[in-house]
Structure 1
Amino acid sequence: MSLQVFGMPVSRGVAIGRAVLVASSRVDVAHYYVAADGIEGEIQRLRAARDAVSAEIETLQRELPAEAPGEISALLDVHQMLLHDEALTGATKHWIVERHYNAEWALSAQLEVLARQFDEMEDDYLRERKADLEQVVERLLRHLAHDGAGAPPPIVAQGSRDFAGEDPLVLVANDVAPADMLHFKKSVFTGFVTDVGGRTSHTAIVARSLDIPAVVGAREASRLIRQDDWVVIDGDAGVVIVNPSPIVLEEYRFRQRQSELERARLDRLRHTPAVTLDGERVDLLANIELPDDSAAAVAAGAVGVGLFRSEFLFMNREGSLPGEDEQYEAYRAAIEAMNGLPVTIRTIDIGADKPLDRMSVSELRHEHQLNPAMGLRAIRWSLAEPSMFRQQLRALLRAAVHGKLRILFPMIASLSEVRATVDALARARAQLDESGRAYGPVEIGAMIEVPAAALAIDALLPHLDFVSIGTNDLIQYTLAIDRADEAVAHLYDPWHPAVLQLIHRTIERAHAIGKHVAVCGEMAGDPAFTDLLLAMGLRSFSMHPSRVAAIKQRVLRADTRRLAAQLSRVLHAEQPAVAAAAAFGGSPAH
């Protein structure tokens, strides 16, 4: 039966494929692919876990006291029967062999299949056996989690068909944390759907970095969609169609082909300079998460990195954080890969929806705050952990020997924080001098993502070389909306007059004293805002590499003098989105 699930579109395009469910469990489950030569090892892990659980059950049965009710022994018999049932272990091997799932993922996938079968049984007794099945699987998962072999290997390269078989795959989950998204970054998934999330949650941002269609906030998607269902993800409309009819499927396949043709056309603009019709040069920069992403930035035609999110180096490390030398090598790799183009690296921005695996004392305080988005995060956390902060600053200064480096401090709200970061940088330099290690010159900047910073911009600018506007958080804090909460996602409005005024003020004041200003939030990569930002005087946009060509196309068609003449009309309108459409041309943005 075909059905539709509605959510929020966060990455455009159409994806068609079979559903791969990352099921939630009371036990944390690793999800990764295994290479062909690792399949037998995964099957052995599964077999060993089954034998261990079977031995446990046998021991429990032997040690039952004489006065124990007979039902307990019968229940253990049921667990033993389920454990050795081919519908569980045999089918789980199928997921390992055919899909190259690791043993934990294969078990979770098969549990999902069997649980639905139990739910559909008419007999009450049989239907209630689902709980027994879940308990057996939980025991197996616990053994697999402690067998010492559960660490994921490197993910298979993008586009590989080794694990996908003949059918494309789409990922369906309740949620995918930003750190976990990195595991899927080079995977075979052609799209994904989550139950929760907002349009500018970090999960959605990293999803866009995959450059695949995605829908978040789809509520019951992971419960309504079954393993191996055919799924169409409409990333433009925010609609997920499950088991579509042949007519609908063909329509979306046609749209897929049209989208591929459009991408190919835009790709031809890669090496065209971004210059407006009236001769204004515009720098289109890339946002990246890891050093390897630099290659994609260069390939997309970006003229530098406007935002390297360094916190992703700290994630998915099972409690072991990167030391100074490891960070230095990562930053050096990113800088050298850009072949002399400037690289802006943001210091670690943990907190809210980007926690670390290992918590320090101050992080533990942060973890239990009622509102982590406004708690000890970003620069506040760094200043509260001076040793770790100086370690990162030393690594950055050392990497600056290898190219043009700018250091960006996140969530600056006051002049005292700017002074504290400048002092920390000076201490890091002094430590490098003492140890005799070389370091290079850097420019320093602040993320303008707190309304207080935008309003106090005149006091901040003399102490900085540049500023970068983080529109995602600026909108969140200006409108008092948690951008990761789908319940209020409809209130998240980049076109709100207060937001536009703060952005315009920051650009205007920076230009007034000759300081460089960029926008590195999601607005920079959205063509709906390109004309408006150009009208405000912005000449530096930073976005995911996949968005560079689309924004370049808008820049090449723009006349900044004509746009600037219409700016006041838009900024003072009751509905700026409608006014912008009328003033700049196009349809109203949503």
Structure 2
Amino acid sequence: MSLQVFGLPVSRGVAIGRAVLVASSRIDVAHYFIDPVDVPAEISRLRLARKQVSGELEDLKRDLPPNAQTEILALLDVHLMLLHDEALAEATCAWIVERHYNAEWAMAAQLEVVARQFDEMEDEYLRERKADLEQVAERVLRALGDPSNGSAITERVGARDFGGEDPLVLVANDISPADMLQFKGSVFTGFITDVGGKNSHTAIVARSLDIPAVVGARDASRLIRQDDWVIIDGDAGLVIVEPSSIVLEEYRFRQRQIQVERERLTRLRHKPAVTLDGERVELLANIELPGDGVAALAGGAEGVGLFRSEFLFMNRDGALPDEEEQYQAYRDAVTIMQGLPVTIRTVDIGSDKPLDRMSVHELRHEHTLNPAMGLRAIRWSLSDPAMFEVQLRAILRAASHGPVRLLVPMLTHLSEIRATFDALRRVRAQLMRESIPHGSVEIGAMVEVPAAALTMPIFLRYFDFVSIGTNDLIQYTLAIDRAEEAVAHLYDPWHPAVLRLIADTISQAHAAGKGISVCGEMAGDIEFTELLLGLGLRSFSMHPAQIPAIKQRILRSDSKRLRAYAAAVMSSDEPRSVGKDVSVAGAKVDAGEQVQKTPREAA
């Protein structure tokens, strides 16, 4: 039977595929596809794990004291019976053989299927046996995680298409930003999560991957079953489960239309972004990994406006990348960009991007009452000088291969600015003493905290350029945790206070003759293109996939007319209503007539 699930639209487009559920578990489960040649080895891993658990349970039975209650013995017998159930074992192996899931994923997927069967049983005693099944499955999962259990395949190969013939969509309670990166170029054509906000980092990475996504869909992972056909309408925030043939064909037609439009926009790749009145606009790319530079060039980017270096630090079981590894990554990004500038942001760890292990000053993310306000970004870097200097050395060395700009996140205090420049001076001196080739870099500051925007004259005296991170700026200005569902509706880029901070920062940077860009989500949102142009912004940085649509909007805009439009938006009590009324077609409506009156003036 077809059903609809509603959530928050976070990444546009349409995805159609079979559901792949990442089941919740009390222990971490690795999810990756294996090479077909490794199927026998993965099945062998599963069998060895079952044999190991069987031995553990038999040992427990043997070691029971003579006066032990018979219920305990019966419980162990039930667990052994479930463990040796050949139907359950064969069904688990089928996930490995047919879908090329790794053994842990196969076990978790089959557990999800059987657990639902238990839930539907009328007999209360049988329903309660689900807990026994879960305990046995988790024992097997722990055994699979034991390095002594065969030759475990640890490399995640999600970017390789071993998922079968049908397209797949991922369904989970939640997905971390680091895990999202596993899906680049993978078999997943879209994803759905039960939790999450429209501007959480998970949602942002989804947009950067340019795949349709819906978050905050509440009970999606409970209502959707393994292998269900699912449609994700990323524009409406709608998930259709087991659609009718008519609905399926309608959405396939929409998919084809979207693809045709994207192909049309790619023709703008080599066309300069110039407004109708001759204003040149710089379009840069946000990237997470060095190889993303290929997509940046393909999208027509004029450089990298934000290289999020923290993603080099994730999914590493707590082992931080050393200087050589970082240097090679930054060098690769610089080389790929073929002489175009690359802006590398120093590691922005914390909040919803924690590491597995946080240096000598360990960041206990799960125990931090308000991680967004805690030890993160430059605060963490300055708390661990050795780690920070390793990153700075790697960046300066990479600068010998091409133009590099250094961007420092979440600065608020003059003391932090001075400490950052002191660290740079020490690193330069070290490299010179060691005769290691390195280059000079422009140094910029992220403006993502209201304190930075309000003390812009100090920042402009020290830095060569500034870049506005609108995601965090909105979060901190409005005191809204953008990853928190309960307050996500209050996260408002159109809020007058947010727009005033952005406008003032742009104005002051221009007055000081310093470079200014926006690298947050607003830069890649066509809803804000005209407003930012009208405020004087001439440098946008966004995911490569967003560049063509933004370029098209710029080519159709007249910056002189947009100044009046921006003034109307800025003077309104409700900027959103004014912005949406006149932003279409380059603000052809007389913006001067759109200024709203206060209730007193209207009276």
| TM norm. shorter chain > 0.5 | yes
Separation (CA, whole Å) in 2 of partners of 1:123 and 1:262: 55
Deviations 1:213-238 (A, max 9, x none): 00111121111111111111110011
- 1:193, 1:214 within 8 Å by CA — same for their partners in 2? yes
SS in 2 for 1:228: coil
3-state secondary structure, aligned to 1:487: helix
- The residue that corresponds to 1:62 in the other structure is 62
Tell me how far 1:72 sits from its aligned partner: 2.2
Shift of 1:582: 2.9
Retained in 1: the 8 A contact 2:360–2:384? no
| Matching residue of 2:371 | 372
Residues 1:391 and 2:390 aligned together: yes
- The 5-angstrom pairing of residues 278-317 of structure 1 reads 278-317=277-316
Pair 1:130-2:130 in alignment: yes
Aligned partner of 1:111: which letter? L
Q: Say yes or no: does 1:344 pair with 2:343.
A: yes
For 1:403-482, list aligned pairs within 5 A: 403-482=402-481
Moved segments of 4+, more than 4 Å:
148-151
Once the two structures are superposed, residues 256-309 of structure 1 have per-residue CA deviations (whole angstroms, 9 ceiling, x without a partner) of 111111111111111111111111111110000000111110111100000000
Contact in 1 for aligned 2:562/2:586 (Cα 8 Å) = no
2:155 maps to which residue?
153
Distance in 2 between the 1:464 and 1:366 partners? 31
Distance (Å, rounded) in 2 between the aligned partners of 1:365 and 1:204: 23
Structure 1 SS opposite 2:104:
helix
Work out whether 1:382 is the aligned partner of 2:381.
yes
Match of 2:20, as an amino acid?
V
TM-score normalised by the chain length of structure 2: 0.95
Alignment partner, residue 195 of structure 1: 194
For the residues of structure 2 that align with 1:373 and 1:138, how far apart are their CA atoms? 33
Matched residue, 1:29: 29
**Separation (CA, whole Å) in 2 of partners of 1:338 and 1:408:** 18
Q: Are the aligned partners of 2:159 and 2:182 in contact in 1 as well (CA < 8 Å)?
A: no
Structure 2 Cα separation of the partners of residues 316 and 310 of structure 1:
13
Contact 1:523-1:529 at 8 Å conserved across structures: yes
Q: Does 1:7 align with 2:7?
A: yes
- Name the residue aligned to 1:97: 97
Q: Distance in 2 between matches of 1:245 and 1:558?
A: 42
Report what 2:594 is aligned to: none
Deviation at 1:156, TM superposition (A): 4.7
Instruction: Tell me the CA shift for residue 73 of structure 1.
Output: 2.1
- Which residue of 1 is the match for residue 80 of structure 2? 80
Q: C-alpha displacement at 1:572, in angstroms?
A: 1.0
The residue number in structure 1 matching 2:569 is 570
Give 1:470-549 correspondences, 5 Å limit.
470-549=469-548
Q: Deviations over 1:419-474 (max 9, x none)?
A: 21111111110111121211101000000000011111012101110000000000
- Distance in 1, matches of 2:366 and 2:392, equals 24
Distance 1:528 1:53 in 2: 56
**2:154 counterpart letter in structure 1:** P
CA distance in 1, matches of 2:414, 2:254: 51
Distance in 2, matches of 1:286 and 1:412, equals 22
Q: Is the 8 A contact 1:363 1:376 kept in 2?
A: no
| Superposed displacement of residue 513, structure 1 | 1.3
Tell me the alpha carbon deviations over residues 16-50 of structure 1, each in whole angstroms, 9 at most, x when there is no partner. 11110111101111111100111111000000011
**How much does 1:362 deviate?**
2.0
User: Which residue pairs with 2:598 in the alignment?
Assistant: none
Letter matched to residue 29 of structure 1: V
| SS of structure 1 residue aligned to 2:268 | coil
Q: CA deviation at 1:92?
A: 0.6
SS in 1 for 2:362: helix
Q: Which residue of 1 aligns with 2:248?
A: 249
SS of the residue 1:291 aligns to: coil
Indicate conservation of the 8 Å contact 1:366/1:375, yes or no: no
* 3-state SS in 1 of match to 2:27: coil
Number of aligned positions between the proteins? 585
- Name the amino acid aligned to 1:44: S
2:218 maps to a residue whose letter is R
Report the CA distance between 1:364 and its aligned residue. Answer: 3.5
SS in 2 for 1:193: strand
Separation in 2, partners of 1:505, 1:33: 49
Task: Give the corresponding residue for 1:323.
Answer: 322
Give the Cα–Cα distance (whole angstroms) in 1 for the partners of residues 94 and 223 of structure 2: 23
Give the C-alpha shift of residue 75 in structure 1: 2.0
Contact 1:520/1:543 (CA < 8 Å) preserved in 2? yes
Structure 2 residue aligned with 1:217: 216
One-letter amino acid of the structure 2 residue matched with residue 122 of structure 1: E
Letter in 1 for 2:575: P
**Worse-matched range after superposition: 270-279 or 355-364:** 355-364
Matched AA of 1:312: F
CA distance in 1, matches of 2:586, 2:460: 36
Q: Which residue of 2 aligns with 1:553?
A: 552
Choose 230-239 or 247-256, whichever is displaced more: 247-256
Instruction: Specify the code of the residue in structure 1 equivalent to 2:8.
Output: M
**Residue matched to 1:175:** 174
Gaps of 5+ in 1: none
| Residues 158-186 of structure 1 deviation map (CA, whole Å, 9 limit, x = unaligned) | 6x3xx232211000011111111122223
Do 2:33 and 2:163's aligned partners in 1 also have CA atoms closer than 8 Å?
Answer: no
Q: CA RMSD in A?
A: 1.5
Taking only the aligned residue pairs, the percentage that are identical comes to: 71
Deviation at 1:325, TM superposition (A): 1.0
Length-normalised TM-score, structure 1 = 0.97
Alpha-carbon distance between aligned partners in 1 of 2:107 and 2:364, rounded to the nearest angstrom: 36
Change beyond 3 A, Cα 1:383–1:472: same
Q: Matched residues in 1 for 2:345 and 2:301: separation?
A: 18
The match for 2:352 is 353
Q: Please tell me whether the aligned partners of residues 431 and 437 of structure 2 are also in contact (alpha carbons under 8 angstroms).
A: yes
Worse-matched range after superposition: 555-564 or 241-250: 241-250
Counterparts of 2:351 and 2:574, CA distance in 1 = 31
- Please give the secondary structure, in 1, of the residue aligned with 2:330: helix
What SS is found at the alignment partner of 2:481? coil
1:109 aligns with 2:109: yes
Flag the 1:365–1:121 CA change in 2: closer, same or farther, 3 A: closer
